[in-house]
Amino acid sequence: MITLGIETSCDETAMAILGEGKCVLSHVVASQVEVHRPYGGVVPEIASRKHIEMIGPIFIQCLNEAGIAAEEISGIAVTRGPGLVGALLVGLSFAKALAFALGIPFVGVNHLHAHIASVFLSDDHPQFPFLALVVSGGHTALYIVRNFEQMEIVGQTRDDAAGEALDKGAKILGLGYPGGIIIDKLAKGGNPDAYAFPRAMKDSLDFSFSGLKTAIVELLRKKGGDVLPSELPDLVASYQEAVVDVLVDKTVRAAELYQMSEIVICGGVAANSRLREKFSAVKDKKVFLPPLELCTDNGAMVAFLGFCLLSQGASHPFELNALSRWP
């Protein structure tokens, strides 16, 4: 079975082709970061238009890199949601057209479930059931993963996602976009204990990160609206630490509560070096972190989850619509 995975939920046009099981034959990601940078965040209308421009060429590139003809593809997986509806519809429509033309099945998958599945592309992967933390630009949630069809949310953010908190913090400090990666780099030279940022909802498995924005705005106000470049590393290291601390604490607590010995950390923020360092130091639990290129949005994770679902006989009709929220 050869599976094509298509991902267009936000600002990456990504595709991958998987050969038997999890053998990645090709893996292409076209990032729109430069297009959105002048606006300081993703502009949905521009994202959709860019996906339309890129999706055909990316498909051809993916076929060439895999060294196969389109007719050799036996199934298609596409992100159905959650995400920007206009952006999702580009991938979904492309998948439907291709499935129709080739006479093969297609399946729409949940983007967050695909992030969880990304860890199975490595040889060292967990056994069901396990606990997963999905931590991205739009979502922060803890799942008990029983199998690829049964994933139960046991904690999630009540407001901003962790990636959103990092991106917004960087924006407030005038550091640019995308903020998560900028903060990660800058924080390496800083003291994470220099400033006290709030850790919200300590007694719950739910998260709340929106207070961090207020805290940084307030701190800036006290400093007269500006911070010296020399103060930035300590400031962002402390801000990042507040996000990372809460993610590690609640994930370990959830694993204990639900008696899970294996933990998966995935999604764009799982690329954060401080988060990886702190999770790698967790004792008593086996922690799985996907390689960096599989943390941020990609087609391989969609293809792999689709491959698992298609091999169990799943497929969707052409009426399938995109979902901005799921569940």
- Asked if 136 touches Zn ion (CB under 5 A), the answer is yes
Q: Which residue has the tokens 């580009």?
A: 90
Give yes or no for a contact between 186 and 232, defined as CB atoms under 8 angstroms apart. Answer: yes
Of 15-23, 78-86, 121-129, 294-302, the window that binds Zn ion (rule: CB under 5 A) is 294-302
Stretch that binds Zn ion, among 46-54, 135-143, 284-292, 310-318 (CB under 5 A): 135-143
Pick 3 or 136: Cβ nearer Zn ion: 136
- The dihedral formed by the CA atoms of 106, 110, 116 and 120, expressed in degrees to the nearest 10: 0
Considering only 126, 163, 290, 306, the residue that binds ligand KG4 (CB under 6 A) is 163
**Residue number with CB closer to ligand KG4 (43 or 70):** 43
Tokens of 17: 């082709």
Query: Which residue among 184, 206, 241, 262 contacts ligand KG4 (CB under 6 A)?
Result: 184
Task: Estimate the crossing angle of helix 162-172 against helix 210-222, to 10 degrees.
Answer: 20
Q: With CB under 5 A, what is the number of residues at the site for Zn ion?
A: 2
Tell whether residue 290 is a contact of ligand KG4 (CB under 6 A): no
297 binds Zn ion (CB under 5 A): yes
Point out which span in 90-98, 126-134, 136-144, 227-235 binds Zn ion (CB under 5 A).
136-144
Query: Is 117 one of the binding residues for ligand KG4 (CB under 6 A)?
Result: no
Burial track 227-244 (b if 16+ CB lie within 10 A, e otherwise): beeeebbbbbbbbbbbbb
- Closest to ligand KG4 by CB, 36 vs 316, is 36
> How far is the C-alpha of 282 from the C-alpha of 236, rounded, in Å?
23
* Nearest position to Zn ion, beta carbon: 136
Phi, psi torsion values for 274, nearest 5 degrees: -70, -40
- Spell out, one character per residue from 9 to 48, where the chain touches ligand KG4: x when CB under 6 A holds, - when not: -x--------------------------------------
Question: Judging by DSSP bridges, how do beta strands 12-18 and 3-7 pair with one another?
Answer: antiparallel
What are the two backbone dihedrals, phi and then psi, of residue 286, each rounded to the nearest 5 degrees?
Answer: -90, 120
Burial of 202 (0-12, 13-18, 19+ CB in 10 A): exposed
Residue 296 makes contact with ligand KG4 by CB under 6 A = yes
Measured from the CB atom, is 99 or 165 closer to Zn ion?
165
Q: Residue 262, interface with ligand KG4 (CB under 6 A)?
A: no
> What is the rounded distance in angstroms from the CA atom of residue 236 to the CA atom of residue 21?
41
Contact footprint for ligand KG4 (CB under 6 A) = 10, 136-138, 163, 166-167, 178-181, 184, 267-269, 271-272, 296-297
